[in-house]
DNA sequence: TCTAGCACTCGGATATCTCGAGTGCTAATT
DNA sequence: AATTAGCACTCGAGATATCCGAGTGCTAGA
């Protein structure tokens, strides 16, 4: 399993082995208990035979490096975002999930449902297993292959367009036309479009259409002309749509560090609007392996005390979407990473097998 | 505009005019400020020229009747659920929305979008205008008319069934069949089903199919036999599905009476699972006018400190769905009632005009 | 370089106090 | 009989004080 930092984040800080050990213990302890960790506890647990005083000195150094901080003078230390980052990048040992757990996940994912439903399911699954919020970005539509197109008259000048995509997904659009078509005209238009466009992905379809229109506008008979007009209005809005399913938001209410109601609210509102989240997640698309954003790194304010662990999924080794988990920075990264990684693999496998 | 209580809730408590006036003022004041109302304030505001002492006596009576209560000895009074109920049933004066506001709502609702999108929009609208949570129960599928059916082969033994309903709604199902069909066979099956079933609502379709199968099973040729088998598996799952869109949940975070994080959480979880909420809302379907559930009346625990103001909407004077608002019991009922009522009417109008 | 020792800090828990809004009761007033 | 004034009382909110102990930083000695 491969874990990558977002490209722009570079860790230059170097610390020696003893400091590493202590930082690691500190983070593990803090993640477990949620309490600032004091020098005494750390000295005792670390098995390094150091006195609390020595540990304190080291903590002083780590604090100077910006890896830990103390909430106030007489409390222990807690990791900073930078501390988590170092931890995740070089201290963390991720053990893969044991086989039982993988099987359990597989069972949940490998069902017969439509992709749409499956996405919801995976999202809930992630949320359920991690007790945080699960998120799945739906496959980017542009890259999907168009299998078939149907046109049905609804009323004069209104046509229901049904696009059957690859992998059992179906999209419906309603378009208005300047002219009223007879059912048989519609059938002809559909036939033409199916013949000339089926099997290409939406982006390609769109380009090809525009080209056709430019080149042959004058030569076409009226019907084909109309077909192209119509198709253009269908595919016009195709680009922007992709969607993002978030499940288990309420899990986040359990984390004391998020329970300030205003922060929580802004987070939930962010989930609802999704736009920004999508943008953050988009950055993960394409890069292989598990990606992690910690706290501020996402550059998106409502996610400030949160981390984002994601992995892309896809078919034929081409990433088509991203899934992951959103939770407080203070999360059990090792576990979450394994889960997200496994889920992405399993989900890809299911999509692949549906071919 | 008509406001109805759920049938089972009967108000028998009789109070005299002066008590009514005071209760009304108390509720209005409490709804406005969220503070328990004391005798002095009430005496001053009421213009009844009563001394605080008198008001206190009256409050004592109202408390004995269970209409108000005091959070503790030395605080003012707040309304109980029963108090709100009496208020809503006989004290409330709802003024209709002024024309500007109706126009604004109308503009938001009367768009060209598909019913699905429109439902989301109406839900957000309700949430936005009232600053509470908006909820719309999607039209019950059983009553919808089937216009057209399409069958498309996905792979061997997997068929995508597209049901085009009335009013631009489309449902997709994937079914597995025992046998692999050729495209032309599928076309024939679709033709047969369209001919014999188009125009009926799903419930009827289902009944008719079962009847057909019993009566003529032996007489049919193999193809038709298969058509029926297939159709049966499509319509089998038709009954249960209806859905419910809730928007603006986070608005509820603003209300101090709900801000206890556990209560809030159980409420949000309830929104997510929706099942129970749907059940409560189902009770509203069919009854004309605006319906109000206050606090415990819904019989559903997570809604305890909440009220529900709903109205049904429909086409041709037949209710097909319910919309409304969920907020704290302490809400501005007059305003909310007008808004819900107006929205339901406007929504119905839009649906009707789409014929 | 590490550690023991020590004075110091600060947050959290708990107790105490004060203030004032509001009550209920009683007795006087209308 | 209904209303009101008067008064003692209650109780919560907020401010203030106190204590405790975990944890720190620093210094000097091992």
Query: What are the 10-residue block averages of pLDDT along chain A, 355 residues in total?
Result: 61 81 95 93 89 94 95 92 95 90 95 84 97 90 73 75 72 74 78 75 73 63 65 61 84 83 88 88 87 93 93 89 96 97 95 80
| More confident of the two residues A185 and B45 | B45
Q: Which string of b and e fits A260-288 if b means at least 16 CB within 10 Å?
A: eeebbbbbbebbbebebbbebbebbbebe
Cα distance between residue B317 and residue A181, in whole Å? 31
Q: For residue A81, what pLDDT is reported?
A: 96
Compare all CA atoms of chain A with the CA of B269 and give the residue at the minimum distance: A250
The answer to whether B157 contacts chain A (CB < 8 Å) is no
The pair of structure tokens assigned to A13 is 């800080």
Average pLDDT, chain B: 85
Q: Which of B112, B148, B272 sits opposite A152 (nearest CB)?
A: B148
Locate tokens 């394409």: which residue? A286
Q: Which of A112, A147, A160 sits opposite B170 (nearest CB)?
A: A160
Which distant-in-sequence residues (6+ apart) come within 8 Å of A72 by Cβ?
A: none
Q: If DSSP codes are grouped into helix, strand and coil, which group holds residue A153? A: strand
Cβ atoms of B168 and B114 closer than 8 Å:
yes
pLDDT at B98 over 70: yes
Q: Do A168 and B162 touch (CB under 8 A)?
A: no
Q: List all nucleotides in chain C with at least one atom under 7 A from a protein Cβ.
A: 2-5, 8-11, 20-26
Hey, what domains does chain B have and what are their CATH numbers?
Answer: 3-91 (1.10.10.10), 99-140+242-353 (3.30.450.40), 142-238 (3.30.390.60)
Q: For residue A240, what pLDDT is reported?
A: 46
Length in residues, chain A: 355
Which distant-in-sequence residues (6+ apart) come within 8 Å of A96 by Cβ?
A: A1, A338, A342
Cβ-based contacts of A272 with chain B (< 8 Å)? 250
Q: Do the strands A3-4 and A290-294 form a parallel or antiparallel pair, or are they unpaired?
A: parallel
pLDDT at B299 over 80: yes
Range from A49-63, A335-349, B246-260, B316-330 carrying the lowest mean pLDDT: B246-260
Q: Do B259 and A259 touch (CB under 8 A)?
A: no
| More confident of the two residues B72 and B1 | B72
pLDDT tens, residue by residue, A10-30: 556 778 899 999 999 999 999
The answer to whether B355 contacts chain A (CB < 8 Å) is yes
Closest of A244, A253, A247, A313 to residue A276, by C-alpha? A244
Q: For residue B241, what pLDDT is reported?
A: 52
The pair of structure tokens assigned to B148 is 């057209």
The pLDDT confidence band at residue B240, using thresholds 50, 70 and 90, is: very low
Closest of A225, A221, A230, A235 to residue A177, by C-alpha? A230
Cβ-based contacts of B148 with chain A (< 8 Å)? 152
pLDDT at B133 over 60: yes
The pair of structure tokens assigned to A285 is 């698309």
Cα distance between residue A94 and residue A87, in whole Å? 12
Closest of B134, B103, B131 to residue B121, by C-alpha? B134
Cβ atoms of A159 and A142 closer than 8 Å:
no
For the segment 41-80 of chain A, residues whose CB is within 7 A of strand D? 41, 52-53, 56, 59-60, 63, 70, 73-77
Across-strand partners of B176? B158
When scoring A134, A153, A261 by the number of chain B Cβ atoms within 10 A, the one with the most, hence best to mutate, is A261
Range from A10-14, B14-18, B124-128, B200-204 carrying the lowest mean pLDDT: A10-14
Q: How many CB atoms lie within 10 A of CB A37?
A: 26
Tell me what the mean pLDDT of segment B275-297 comes to. 90
Q: For residue B122, what pLDDT is reported?
A: 97
Q: For residue B239, what pLDDT is reported?
A: 44
The pLDDT confidence band at residue B152, using thresholds 50, 70 and 90, is: confident
The answer to whether A265 contacts chain B (CB < 8 Å) is yes
Q: For residue B273, what pLDDT is reported?
A: 86
């Amino acid at each position: 399993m491969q874990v990558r930092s977002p490209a722009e984040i570079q860790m230059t800080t170097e610390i020696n082995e003893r400091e590493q050990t202590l930082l690691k213990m500190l983070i593990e302890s803090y993640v477990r208990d949620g309490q600032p960790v004091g020098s005494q506890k750390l000295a005792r647990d670390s098995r390094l035979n150091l006195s609390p005083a020595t540990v304190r000195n080291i903590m002083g150094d780590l604090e100077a490096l910006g890896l830990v901080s103390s909430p106030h003078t007489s409390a222990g230390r807690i990791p900073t975002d930078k501390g988590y980052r170092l931890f995740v990048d070089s201290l963390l040992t991720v053990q893969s999930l044991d086989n039982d757990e993988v099987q359990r996940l597989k069972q949940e994912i490998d069902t017969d449902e439509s992709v749409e439903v499956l996405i919801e399911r995976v999202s809930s699954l992630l949320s359920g297993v991690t007790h945080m919020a699960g998120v799945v970005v739906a496959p980017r539509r542009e890259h999907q292959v168009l299998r078939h197109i149907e046109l049905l008259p609804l009323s004069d000048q209104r046509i229901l367009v049904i696009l059957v995509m690859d992998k059992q997904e179906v999209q419906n659009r309603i378009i208005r036309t300047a002219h009223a078509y007879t059912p048989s005209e519609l059938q002809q238009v559909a036939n033409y479009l199916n013949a000339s466009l089926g099997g290409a992905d939406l982006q390609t379809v769109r380009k090809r259409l525009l080209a056709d229109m430019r080149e042959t506008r004058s030569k076409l008979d009226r019907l084909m002309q109309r077909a192209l007009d119509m198709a253009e209005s269908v595919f016009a809005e195709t680009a922007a749509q992709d969607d993002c399913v978030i499940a288990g938001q309420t899990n986040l209410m359990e984390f004391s560090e998020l329970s300030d109601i205003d922060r929580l609210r802004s987070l939930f509102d962010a989930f609802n609007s999704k736009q920004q989240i999508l943008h953050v997640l988009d950055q993960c698309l394409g890069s292989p392996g598990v990606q992690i954003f910690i706290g501020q790194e996402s550059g998106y304010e409502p996610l400030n005390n949160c981390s984002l662990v994601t992995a892309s999924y896809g078919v034929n080794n081409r990433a088509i979407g991203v899934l992951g988990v959103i939770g407080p920075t203070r999360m059990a990264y090792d576990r979450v990473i394994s889960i997200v990684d496994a889920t992405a693999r399993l989900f890809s496998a299911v999509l692949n097998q549906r071919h």
